[in-house]
Amino acid sequence: MYVTLDYIREGDLVIDATCGNGNDTLLLSAAVGESGDVLAVDIQEEAVEKTKKRLQDAGAGNVKTIQGSFCFMDQFLSAWFPDRSPAAVVFNLGYLPGGNKAITTRTDETVSAVAKAAELVRKDGIVTVVMYSGHPEGEREKAEVLAMAKKLPKDRFHVVFASMLNQDGCPPEILWITRKK
């Protein structure tokens, strides 16, 4: 997340495409400050409610939470922030920590949403995708997201993939897509 924060300034708009338990949402809220905005999305009602509670407890009032699919982030963006482009879009794939592990992000939707985020983010903005390949859908998702990212035009995007090589099991891996100026 720290690389992502380098792309965010006070007053920016950012999207947390998978708000989960609200940890990243709260961090993004602080990064954009009171003059900025966060659009926090999750398909699960439980995740949205946990995020709202975390934000309320922290006194963060600059977040719009939406229960829905990240596939529709462009529609949410045009409905709530029609004249703004996000500085960053963050995805934390897999399942809700502490939630039902049978409910995961899905490969086809994720690939579409990440590609859409790359087009929506402002010039000199960033898309961050944290991937967990320790379950079958996560492995497929990682392979397809990386294949899509590899095809992004090099004259418009930089694409970086990081893997924790000295960690046991299936540690998270991170994809960063930055849109060139």
Domain positions in the chain: 2-179
Predicted confidence at residue 149, as pLDDT, reads 97
Encode pLDDT of 143-174 as tens digits.
Answer: 999 999 999 999 999 999 999 888 887 888 99
Question: How far lies 86's CA from each of 124, 130, 165, in Å?
Answer: 10, 18, 31
How far is it, in rounded angstroms, from Cα 173 to Cα 175?
A: 7
Q: What is the strand order of the sheet 157-162 is part of?
A: 63-67, 37-42, 13-16, 88-92, 126-131, 173-179, 157-162
Q: Which residues contact 75 (CB under 8 A, 6 or more apart)?
A: none
Higher local confidence (pLDDT), 108 or 102: 108
pLDDT tier at 101, thresholds 50, 70, 90 = low
Contact 19, 42 (CB under 8 A): yes
pLDDT > 70? residue 95: no
Quote the pLDDT of residue 48: 94
Q: Are strands 13-16 and 157-162 parallel, antiparallel or unpaired?
A: unpaired
Average pLDDT over residues 53-69: 95
Q: Name the residue among 83, 111, 103, 107 with its Cα closest to residue 42.
A: 103
pLDDT at 96: 59
Whether the per-residue pLDDT at 102 is higher than 90: the answer is: no
Q: What is the mean pLDDT of the chain?
A: 92
* Four-way CATH pick for 2-179: 1.20.840.10, 3.40.50.150, 3.40.50.300, 3.30.420.340: 3.40.50.150
**Range 29-34 average pLDDT:** 97
Question: pTM of the predicted model, to two decimals?
Answer: 0.94
pLDDT, greater one: 140 or 181: 140
Q: For residues 102 and 16, which has the higher predicted lDDT (pLDDT)? A: 16
What share of the chain has pLDDT > 70, as a percent? 95
